[in-house]
Structures are given as structure tokens and as C-alpha cells.
Amino acid sequence: MNTQEQYRLGIAAYSAGEFEEAIRLLTPAASGRRHGPASAARYYLAQAHYRLAVQLFEARRFPEATKHFQAAARVNPMGADYAQYLAACYVQTGQLETAAAELQVLLDRRPEDADIRIRLALTLWQQGNPTQAQAVLREGLREQSMHAELHYQLGVMLAAEDNLAEAERLFERTIALDPTHAGAYERLAQCCALLSRFERALSYLKKAHQLEPANARVALQLNLLAQSLMASGQPVQIQWQTRPAPRRDAESIERLGEAILREPDFVEAFLSLPETEVDGEVFSTLAAVLEEALRKKPEYADLHYHCGAVYRRLGRHDKALHHAERAVALNNKYVNALILLADLYAQTDRWRAGVERLEQAIAAGADYPDVHCLLGRLFQSGGELDRARQEYQRALELDDNYPAAREALAALAA
């Protein structure tokens, strides 16, 4: 069984709730290096592990549940949505890439910019300068005492140095400023667990899980702590949350748009995937990414072509047609765009327009069996059977084993 078939069957099993079978099939598909098939398989593999883990926990099969929570956390620890996950796969976050000196210059210009301050602190921390990193954050808190993320990031650094008392106060302050900050609840739980305040730790983890039900790292910790408490005779009830509705992260979409501008084959890898039940999630994400890239580079014909191909995969004919036509208008010798446009015309009664586009494509060098076969289909739809027959025969001249052309000729003869 090839990777494409493993992916297709694995997604079918996942969509049917057969998570063990999905894991069996998606695991080898996820091990490949091709961006589209492998990354898509890994994303849904993590979800299958997560959902199976919840089922096993509820069945009190705790060691097995832990194994699958761990597997989910290894692949997609934060429960990122599809855009965020792809961005992590393809694009550097940029948080630690810029040298500390450059970030310091930026911060000197814009001292009120907490995002730059946090990036500088994280860069210093990564470079092994924890004292400077903490000083940068403390300076920011003197000026912006109501900024939740500054409190949180300083707390993370202090907790790493076992300064749990101050870290705990900072995480509590984070939550007071932002009650939806799941990371602060998770970190508070870790502080409480290290201080043997296990019931409080459990309540904080439950809150973090409620805020981020797809976060596999939180779920793993909740699972382990609950098991430990139950082993000591304490009753524990976990209300495992369903996954949230798909969300669209604007920053991840923007980063992926930049990746597409650098790597033209990015979308082709996904278009090579077989059709499955998750196409809506996969390709609606790609459509948003391409639209973002086009917002910056509307003159790029290849972006319009790929956008048209993605919208065709989604069944959005009008949008697909718009972008295919725009690609051809920008480059009238763009063979793939001409073929796509003709194929879209073939789905309507505009067969003559489709013929014109395919003739353009052939003149531009696309003397291929599939192009002549599509041209034959268009002539056949317009009732020009002799011309259709000629095109099918030309396809067979180019490839005498081309089944679509052979079948079309047999149907005409009948």
C-alpha cells in the first residue's frame, strides 16, 4: 500500500472514529518527507492519538491513555489548528532569529512595544543571559504593570530557576489581568504540584484544559495528575472537552503566505493528496493563505493559478474561475493555468472557450495526452464528434496505453 492510500484510508478511519486503525495507517504516512502528505498525516495522527487517549482514560486504561497523550503531545503539543501547525512545520517563528543587539535598537525606538521587549528577553534567555532577560521584563513591568504577557514570561523564567514563590505570584497576576490565559493556569498547576498542593494543581489544569481543550500537553499533565490522585484513593472526575471549532490564526496565515512566496511547490504537495473527508479543513486553510499572499503580490500568476486549483478542490467554481482567468491574463502562455481554466470551462457550457485555452496551451508546448483528451471531451460536449475523435487519437499517438482516450474512443464507436 502506497503512502497516498495509507493517508486516504487513515483519514477515513479517523473521520469514522476508528482511532486505532487511523493511527496504524497514518503512522507510516506521517514518516515521509514530502511536505503535503507527511505534514497532513502527522496533524491528523496527533488528533487520533489525542481522541483515543481520552477514550482509554474514560475506560480507566490509564497506562495506554498516557502513551497516546504522550504521542499527541510529541507531534502537536499545543493543539495548534491547521494553519498554526503548518506554520510551525514550514516557517521559522522569527522570535529568536533576530540578534539581541538589533532587538535592543528596536526597543530603544519603541520602548512601549511589549512584543519587541518579550522577543528581546527570550533571545537573551536563549543566549544564556537569564539575568539580563529578566531585567528587560522587569523594566517593562515598571512601565506597563497591566500587561499580562510580561508577567507571564517573567514567571516562566523564574519558575525555570526554581523561584516558585515569585513565579506563582506572577502567574496569578497574569490570570487576574487575563482570565483566559491558559498558559498561566498550566504553569500555576506545575508550581502547585512541585509544592505538593495537588488538588489546587488539578483545578488549575482543569481550567487550562477548559480554555484549550485541544492542548495535548495540558491533557497529558491532567491525565497523569488525575491518575496519581486516584491511585491514592481520591475520587477525580475529568470532563474531557470536545475539540474547539476551527479557528483562523492571522499571524500563522501571514507566515504561511510568506512561505508560499518562497517555495512555489508548497501548494502542489497538498494538491497531490487524495480526496478525503478533511479536505474542507485542509484546503480552506490553503485558500486563506493564498489570498493573503495575493494581497501582497497580486501580480503573481502562479499564486492565482494555485488559488484557482485550491478553490476547485473545494468545489468553489466561481472563485476558481476568477483566479484561473487572472493567472492567464497575467501570463497567456502559462500552460497549467490554461489547462485549469479549460477544465473549469468544461464544467459549464463554455466549451468553445475551453477549446481556445487548450489550443493556446498546446501551442505553448503542452502537447500531452491528457491535454488532447480534455480537448476531445470539450469537442464531444459541443457535438463535434469528428474533432473529438481526432483529439483522442492524438492522445493515443502520444501514449498508446492512455486508458481515458481509449475508453472515450470506444464510447464514440458504440
- Residues 105 and 227 reside in one and the same domain: yes
Average pLDDT score over the chain: 89
Contact 408, 379 (CB under 8 A): no
**Domain boundary residue, one of 231, 260, 294:** 231
Block residue for cell numbers 497523550: 69
The C-alpha atoms of residue 397 and residue 77 are separated, in whole angstroms, by 54
Count structural domains, the chain: 3
Q: Residue 19: is its pLDDT beyond 60? A: yes
Residues 6+ apart with CB under 8 A from 1: 9
**Domain boundary residue, one of 81, 108, 132:** 81
- Residues 62 and 109 reside in one and the same domain: no
Is 31 part of a structural domain of the chain? yes
- Residues 72 and 122 reside in one and the same domain: no
* pLDDT tens readout for residues 43-89: 999 999 999 999 999 999 999 999 999 999 999 888 888 888 877 77
What's the average model confidence in pLDDT over 227-256?
Answer: 79
Is 404 part of a structural domain of the chain? no
Q: At what angle do helices 19-30 and 3-15 cross, to 10 degrees?
A: 150
Q: What is the DSSP string of 256-302?
A: HHHHHHH-TTHHHHHHTSPP-TTHHHHHHHHHHHHHHHHHH-TT-HH
Contact 90, 266 (CB under 8 A): yes
pTM: 0.80
- Residues 59 and 135 reside in one and the same domain: no
Is 105 part of a structural domain of the chain? yes
**C-alpha to C-alpha distances, 139 to 104, 133, 154, nearest whole angstrom:** 13, 10, 11
- Residues 161 and 130 reside in one and the same domain: yes
Domain CATH for 185? 1.25.40.10
* pLDDT tens readout for residues 352-374: 999 999 999 999 999 999 999 99
CB-based burial, 270-300: b 16+ in 10 Å, e otherwise = beebeebebbebbbbbbbbbbbbbbeeeeeb
- Residues 181 and 267 reside in one and the same domain: no
- Residues 104 and 227 reside in one and the same domain: yes
Residue 24 has phi, psi (to 5 degrees) of -60, -40
For residue 104, give its domain range. Answer: 100-231
Is 394 part of a structural domain of the chain? no
Is 383 part of a structural domain of the chain? no
Is 399 part of a structural domain of the chain? no
Q: Residue 256: is its pLDDT beyond 90? A: no
- Residues 260 and 336 reside in one and the same domain: yes
Is 287 part of a structural domain of the chain? yes
DSSP state of 240: P
DSSP state of 34: -
**Domain boundary residue, one of 326, 348, 367:** 367
- Residues 273 and 322 reside in one and the same domain: yes
Task: Identify the residue with better confidence: 273 or 339.
Answer: 339
Residues 6+ apart with CB under 8 A from 138: 154
- Residues 18 and 113 reside in one and the same domain: no
